[in-house]
Chain A
Amino acid sequence: MFAFIKRRKNLFLLIFALAIILIPLFVKNKYYIIVMNVIGLNTIVVVGLNLLIGFAGQISLGHAAFYGMGAYLSAILTTTYSFPPWPTIFIAMIATGMVAYFVGYPSLKLRGHYLVMATLGFSIIVHIFMVELDKITGGPSGFPGIPHLSIGKLIFDSDFKNFYLIWTFSFLSIFASLNLVNSRVGRALKAIHGSEVAANTLGIDTDKYKTKVFVLSAMFASLAGSLYAHYITFISPRSFDFYYSIQVVTMVIAGGMGSVWGSFFGSGLLTVLSEILHVAEKYNIIAYGAILTLVLVFLPEGILVGLYNLYQRRKIAALIERERDDGPF
């Protein structure tokens, strides 16, 4: 048990799990719980997206579309066609993953940032489908009446119940990402980021790895989308527009590219910020732009990692200072 806790990764996970269990016992304000649920959903998307951005060095501006695909597939299949919800979440993830494969495979074979353009175009197309296929999707006015998820007699029909559901999946996505990052595959992805040529000559099929991690990150987004649909029970195209893609990319960068815990921090920080700025919704996008710029200029490692590094540097500087004082002079 002690050896288990000694590993910092496991200690953080343990604290995180305890926090998830305890928070609803102390926080009785429903509004706070709703905000935290949104943070939990965003965390799933952002953790997945960070695998792509922070580890493989590729950028997607289409994650709103994958998030939306998960939501709409779950909504349509369970409501219109009476599919059972849990297997449908899985089906939606597979379907979204397949679509991501067809978007990612050709554009990741090209050198340079073609994936950005491909995903941008793709997300616009998906958004048009959501709006125009109104017989299937409900069009701009949205899709109502999506059933809540349930396990046996337990129906996840309140914000508090959904808190546990959503955060269980957030926990699992963080857990799985940490596993991936500290593994053969994670190192291969980091290596691709470091030097694609060198990675290739060491046996890493760089095209395949980039495509796979893109597909994986799309599946994370799809999962979050399905959970969102079953939680809110109503979805509309507005939630899955281009602005959401920008939001999640900002969360990855603010939290720290390549840091799994940073993703959690980034989605927390920026979700809360959006809530605070809710009164002035027009200025939301400006705030996001400003944060993105400021972070990239002053703390390119991300806020969490950047501040930690600053603290470390201070500590080392203080140590050197003290040694000087203790010296013979």
Chain B
Amino acid sequence: MGHSEIILKVYRLRKVFGGILALNDVSFEVKRNEITAIIGPNGAGKTTALNLISGIYPATSGEIIFEEKTISGLKPFHIAFQGITRTFQNLQVFQNMTVLENVMVGLHTQTRSGFFSCLLHMPIVAKEEKIVKKESYSVLQFLNLEKKTDWLSSSLPFGEQKRLEIARALAGKPNLILLDEPVAGLNVRETGEMSKLILKIREKGITIILVEHDMNLVMGISDKIIVLNYGQKISEGTPREVQNDPKVIQAYLGEG
């Protein structure tokens, strides 16, 4: 694995939905083991950027390079195997499964057993199952969900469902995790916990891209901020640099 400083490079990324230009030739770089935030007013193209990086939508043009490999054009499940996982703005927890099972699905990329060996419960299945359970428990412990392993995930309170989604994404041992509005809908206390959690995830050596509207959180924990407006990158830099950029102030507050 190449250990260059830059883990992800996005080059002239463009996405057109029908006639609408959602992302207009946006380029940026993400440094290894940093927290990079993508911010911007509603409809700026933040979530679209995450959807393109995780492969949910194909890009209209441009290139995404992860760990020196081009990943644009790959399907989401291929990208997961490359080491990128994500959470969703509108929760996508598997409601029909328990907390533990949700996290176990997160370990899909770490295991190999297929239809045939599972049907016959071959020795490899039992071996993998043991590892999967152990790993899942430790991830749940990391997120303080270990007391609720057997709960049906739909019966968890909202804040815990958000944490569960992060647990599931972490279980796949990603190098890069994409968090789409991790504190939307959380109260002040939960938001504080979430910001600590995000820093703890970085301590594990994982790179984080964050899309978020909560400016206190973004300014508090980000190493770098990318500002989008109407699908274009209008600013980029440290929280301090971005805060003082007149173009950013204009985008958020309008012309005075």
Contact = CB atoms under 8 A, between A and B. Distances in A.
Interface of A: 176, 179-180, 183-188, 190-191, 193-195, 197-206, 212-213, 216, 258
B96 A193 contact: yes
Interface of B: 54-56, 75-77, 79-81, 85-86, 88, 92-97, 101, 104-106, 108-109, 111, 113-115, 118-121, 125, 128-129, 132, 168-169, 172
Q: Which of B77, B111, B172 has the most CB of A within 10 A?
A: B77
Contact of B77 (A194, A200, A212, A213): A200
A212 B96 contact: no
B115 A204 contact: no
B118 A180 contact: yes
Main secondary structure on A side of the interface with B: helix
24 contacts: A176-B119, A180-B118, A184-B129, A188-B105, A190-B94, A190-B105, A191-B94, A194-B93, A197-B88, A198-B94, A198-B168, A200-B80, A201-B54, A201-B79, A202-B106, A202-B108, A202-B172, A203-B77, A203-B80, A203-B108, A203-B109, A204-B108, A213-B115, A216-B115
B97 A187 contact: yes
Contacts, number: 104
A198 B92 CA distance: 6
A20 to B, nearest CB: 20
Contacts of A202: 77, 80, 85, 105-106, 108-109, 168-169, 172
Contacts of A213: 115
Contact of B132 (A184, A191, A195): A184
A205 B78 CA distance: 8
Contacts of B93: 194-195, 198
B85 A201 contact: yes
Contacts of A205: 75, 77
B158 to A, nearest CB: 16
A187 B95 CA distance: 13
Contact of B118 (A184, A197, A206): A184
A49 B132 CA distance: 28
B77 A185 contact: no
Which of A180, A188, A206 lies at the interface centre, i.e. has the most chain B CB atoms within 10 A of its CB?
A180
Nearest to A177: B119
B120 A176 contact: yes
A185 B96 contact: no
Contacts of B120: 176, 179
A215 to B, nearest CB: 9
Nearest to A213: B115
A198 B169 CA distance: 10
B119 A198 contact: no
B128 A180 contact: no
Contacts of B132: 184
Given A190-B94, A202-B168, A203-B77, A184 B125 contact: yes
Nearest to B114: A185
A198 B88 contact: yes
A110 B113 CA distance: 26
Q: Which 7 interchain pairs have the tightest Cβ spacing?
A: A194-B94, A203-B80, A198-B92, A183-B118, A203-B109, A200-B76, A179-B121
B81 A203 contact: yes
A185 B92 contact: no
Contacts of B81: 203
